[in-house]
Amino acid sequence: MTKHDLSLLSAAQSAEAIRAGHLSSEALVESHLDRIEKTDSSIRAWAHLDADAAIDQAREMDRVRKAGRATGALHGVPVGLKDIVDTKDMPTRRGTPIFEGRQPEADARLVEHLREAGAVIVGKTKTTEFAFMHPTDTTNPTDVTRTPGGSSSGSAAAVAARHVPLAIGSQTGGSVIRPASFCGVYGFKPTRGTVSRSGVFRTSVSLDHVGSFANTLEDVALLSDVISGYDQNDPASFARPRAQMLAGAQSDVPVSPDIAWLDFPFHDRLDSDTTEGLNAVIEGLDGRVERFEASPQLSDLINVHKTIYDYEIRQNMAEIAGAHWSDLSDEMQSAITRAENISPTQYDDALGVMASAQGFFAEYFNDFDAIMAPSATGEAPLLSAGHTGDSVFCLPWTLAGLPCLTLPLLVGQNDLPIGVQLIGGAEEDDRLFRTASWVQRALSAENTEGNQHVT
């Protein structure tokens, strides 16, 4: 295997090879660093990169293995972190000049889990301002004239460019699923409360989720397992066992799964090639997908999401906005300003609808293994559009706190990737991965019979 090839390995493959002594973490990390050096001038995925520190961590993990000590699930595997995730040994700038040079004193809880798993923290990936809307200068590795999506722009781009096999992102609206779809990688946001948000910049206590990016279904499950854990300091965290996502991805379905599709009014925002591709996916699944018309109440979840997000981001930004108003983007200033018109009663009502949406979907998953939905409007928009794309297709599911997974199954009219989203029941993330694995196999069998849209 040449040095260059190492950056094409999956995290699961690399960790296994490192544990077995067939590969050194140092060689793996060097290969990724080489790739970053060669391509990041055009992709600009990294807010902070510490090559020397990464090599040091890699050597340490190699030493641990050679000493016969315990190896971890991500032993010696490089990982990138969205730049809203605190690290005690690297600055965390949250995508804003306001926090230029900010050095946290502690690691986020999820970073503790990564270190315990033997992961090598390579650096921080670019995020939109405060993981909200104002874009970074990161480009899409599949076409550098296009956006990688947001807010986890750098994480999606870094994984797509094979700068790292794994990266951490976050999603409050659609900030994992959409960039993964645009960049042609797997993106996953687990059930609310599965992963701790302690040490991750808070925009919305109700809606913020940590998520993961990878180039294979197994890898995105593996990373999600590693960062999962109960944390009493996160109000969403639950004191119960976590679903085993990798085990889910590796298991067979007991019977062919049942999948629901909901037609929402906002589906008119889909590009025509996306509609066509999604229809081909549904057809390819041989009658396992049942289509429904979404009720008006379901469509209204979009507005409920907006009410909660605006209200909470205004609360969370209050101190920063007071001190640094002129350093905030227009997008952020507008959100904070329009939130002034949301009354506490409107906010409480929105939280009430959110709770009932959770109850509604819980019953849904008695009959269905997953809901299928678009991940985004279609191919990534051009950078010149000045935004990171439309998150509408993610909002109902993020609001309900359900596990969401995007699979890079389609290619659009410009040969650019388009994801297909699967949504699972709360705390049934393992079942969602099991269903997704079946979907991939079913379509892959179909594809060998000549389907054009399903790659």
Residue number, 40 or 107, with CB nearest to a second copy? 107
How is the chain split among helix, strand and coil, in percent rounded to 5?
A: 45, 15, 40
Closest to 206 in 3D by CA, of 304, 95, 297: 304
Contact between 108 and 198 (Cβ < 8 Å):
yes
Rounded Cα distance, 213 and 104, in Å: 24
Query: Least distance to a second copy from the beta carbon of 70, Å?
Result: 4
Q: Helical H runs in 328-406?
A: 330-339, 344-367, 395-400
**DSSP classification of residue 295:** P
Q: Are 368 and 425 in contact (CB under 8 A)?
A: no
Q: Any bridge partners for residue 78, and if so which?
A: 120
**Closest distance between a second copy and the C-beta of residue 426, in Å?**
9
120 vs 157, beta carbon nearer a second copy? 120
User: What is the rounded distance in angstroms from the CA atom of residue 362 to the CA atom of residue 425?
Assistant: 6
CB of 117 to a second copy, least distance (A): 7
State the catalytic residue, choosing from 10, 151, 228, 437.
151
Options 10, 25, 82, 391, the catalytic residue: 82
- Kindly tell me which of 191 and 377 has the beta carbon lying closer to a second copy: 191
Q: Which is nearer to a second copy, 2 or 366 (CB)?
A: 366
Closer residue to a second copy in complex, CB, 233/414: 233
Between CA 213 and CA 430 the distance in angstroms is: 17
- Cβ pair 175, 169 in contact under 8 A: yes
- Residue in 24, 175, 196, 437 annotated catalytic: 175
151 flagged as catalytic: yes
- DSSP annotation of 99 reads G
Longest C-alpha distance within the chain, in Å? 62
Hey, how many other C-beta atoms are within 10 angstroms of the C-beta on 160? 25
Give the long-range contacts of residues 53-57, CB within 8 A, separation 24 or more.
53/89, 53/90, 53/121, 54/29, 54/78, 54/120, 54/121, 54/122, 54/123, 55/26, 55/29, 55/30, 57/25, 57/29, 57/120, 57/121
CA angle at residue 11 from 212 to 182, to 5 degrees?
Answer: 45
Nearer to a second copy among residue 45 and residue 79 (C-beta): 79
Q: Which residue has the tokens 């991940």?
A: 375
Cβ proximity of 81 and 168 under 8 Å: yes
**Interaction site with a second copy (CB under 8 A):** 60, 64, 68-72, 75, 88, 106-107, 112-113, 115-118, 229-233, 239-244, 427-428, 430-431
Tell the smallest beta-carbon distance from residue 113 to a second copy (Å): 8
CB of 427 to a second copy, least distance (A): 5
Minimum CB separation of residue 431 from a second copy in Å reads 8
Provide the minimum distance between the beta carbon of 438 and a second copy in the complex, in angstroms, as a whole number: 17
User: In the complex with a second copy, which residue's Cβ is closer, 280 or 402?
Assistant: 402
Element (H or E) spanning 309, and its range? helix 301-324
Residues designated as active site? 82, 151, 175
